[in-house]
């Protein structure tokens, strides 16, 4: 492999588009593919306006052909199987010695299946789901939890550094996805508590800014509180990571918990709360829209 690896990036969504842009800005030769031509055109125009040279391919296989490292960042297990193992998937075009790094949030089983398929062809594999939301992708400040061999991660690490604030190797193939499940379970639980806390403060007639100031400096502090307290109280829920995607992620987490013989009652309950918001038409809203499930109460006199 050349000193400066050539890159294919498959999936130019809310997360993948900014990540591919960071790679191009860092000087990597990038070939991109997106299943939606309209979104591909949007990114092509955006990068051209910056003077970035990103090539575009007609299929995942075309993008992967001749690439040293292929990144994927799509929707779910089925989407990932299509762009990797399908008729025009990347594994059919990647050469032995290349590396596949997957940023999709999938099941751990999917990660292990891909690892086996890659190993059969002499291709390295890292499952590398990300956390940090759209802002983290745009600002190049993502947290990446990785499964796979240390040698494969060592190859991917310097490239992923272009859009990461933290890259942690948590274990063998599938471990990155399992760590991401734990991440999503934590977020869901925090947002459920935060939603109830905001509604309590509103109903009591508290000054919401002062309440945040009072409680955010102690043990209740969290990223969600710091970044979503004000937006939740303002009824603003357009921050990139949709409830539809969170429910997909929590489904993987609940499946894995069952596989391991574990109970996850809080996660299961919050998942159903999110289902309520979906049923009310809020599936594309940010995960903090969980608060909309709880009616706002007007403070009582006296």
pLDDT tens figures, 13-36: 999 999 999 999 999 999 999 999
Residue 250 and residue 161 share a domain: no
Final residue of a structural domain among 172, 194, 223: 172
Residue 192 and residue 158 share a domain: no
Both tokens of residue 252?
Answer: 């993987």
CATH number of 155's domain:
3.40.50.720
Predicted confidence at residue 1, as pLDDT, reads 41
Residue 70 and residue 54 share a domain: yes
Residue 201 and residue 136 share a domain: no
Residue 213 and residue 105 share a domain: no
The number of domains in the chain is 2
Predicted confidence at residue 3, as pLDDT, reads 78
d(CA 29, CA 77): 28
What confidence tens digit (pLDDT) does each residue in 107-142 have? 999 999 999 999 999 999 999 999 998 899 999 999
Residue 15 and residue 152 share a domain: yes
The answer to whether residue 285 is catalytic is no
Question: Could you give the count of Cα atoms lying within 13 Å of 109 in the half-sphere of its Cβ?
Answer: 10
Q: Which of 42, 121, 165, 180 is catalytic?
A: 180
Could you tell me which of 80, 97, 100 has the C-alpha nearest to residue 8?
Answer: 100
Final residue of a structural domain among 136, 153, 172: 172
Task: Report whether 72 contacts 83 (CB < 8 A).
Answer: yes
Residue 127 and residue 207 share a domain: no
Predicted confidence at residue 299, as pLDDT, reads 80
Task: Report whether 126 contacts 102 (CB < 8 A).
Answer: yes
In Å, how far are 187, 237, 282 from 285, measured between CA atoms?
Answer: 15, 6, 5
Residue 214 and residue 166 share a domain: no
**Residue 60 resides in a domain:** yes
Residue 183 and residue 154 share a domain: no
E strands along the chain, which residues? 7-10, 30-33, 54-56, 69-72, 99-102, 124-127, 130-131, 142-148, 164-171
Could you tell me which of 220, 255, 243, 222 has the C-alpha nearest to residue 289?
Answer: 243
Residue 165 and residue 274 share a domain: no
- Domain containing 211 equals 179-293
Final residue of a structural domain among 172, 190, 217: 172
What confidence tens digit (pLDDT) does each residue in 29-81 have? 999 999 999 999 999 999 999 999 899 999 999 999 999 999 999 999 999 99
**Residue 41 resides in a domain:** yes
Could you tell me which of 68, 76, 66, 67 has the C-alpha nearest to residue 11?
Answer: 76
Residue 239 and residue 93 share a domain: no
């Amino acid at each position: 492999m050349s000193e400066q690896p050539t890159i294919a990036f498959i999936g130019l969504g809310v997360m993948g588009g900014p990540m591919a842009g960071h790679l191009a800005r860092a000087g990597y030769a990038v070939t991109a593919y997106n299943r939606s031509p309209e979104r591909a055109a949007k990114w092509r125009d955006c990068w051209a306006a910056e003077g970035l040279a990103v090539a575009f391919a007609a299929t995942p296989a075309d993008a992967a052909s001749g690439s040293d490292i292929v990144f994927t960042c799509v929707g779910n297990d089925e989407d990932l199987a299509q762009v990797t193992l399908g008729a025009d998937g990347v594994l059919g075009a990647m050469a032995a010695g290349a590396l596949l790094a997957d940023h999709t949030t999938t099941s751990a089983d999917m990660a292990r299946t891909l690892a086996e398929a890659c190993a059969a062809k002499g291709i390295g594999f890292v499952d590398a789901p990300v956390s940090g939301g759209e802002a983290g992708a745009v600002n190049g400040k993502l947290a990446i939890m990785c499964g796979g061999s240390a040698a494969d991660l060592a190859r991917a690490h310097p490239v992923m550094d272009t859009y990461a604030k933290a890259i942690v190797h948590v274990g063998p193939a599938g471990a990155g996805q399992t760590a991401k499940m734990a991440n999503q379970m934590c977020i869901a639980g925090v947002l459920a508590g935060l939603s109830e806390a905001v509604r309590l403060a509103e109903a009591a007639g508290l000054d919401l800014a002062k309440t945040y100031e009072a409680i955010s400096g102690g043990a209740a502090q969290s990223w969600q509180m710091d970044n979503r307290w004000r937006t939740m109280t303002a009824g603003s829920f357009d921050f990139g990571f949709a409830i539809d995607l969170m429910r997909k992620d929590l489904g993987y987490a609940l499946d894995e918990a069952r596989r391991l013989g574990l109970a996850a009652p809080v996660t299961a309950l919050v998942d159903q709360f999110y289902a309520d918001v979906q049923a009310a038409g809020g599936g594309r809203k940010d995960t903090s829209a969980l608060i909309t499930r709880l009616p706002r109460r007007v403070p009582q006199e006296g």
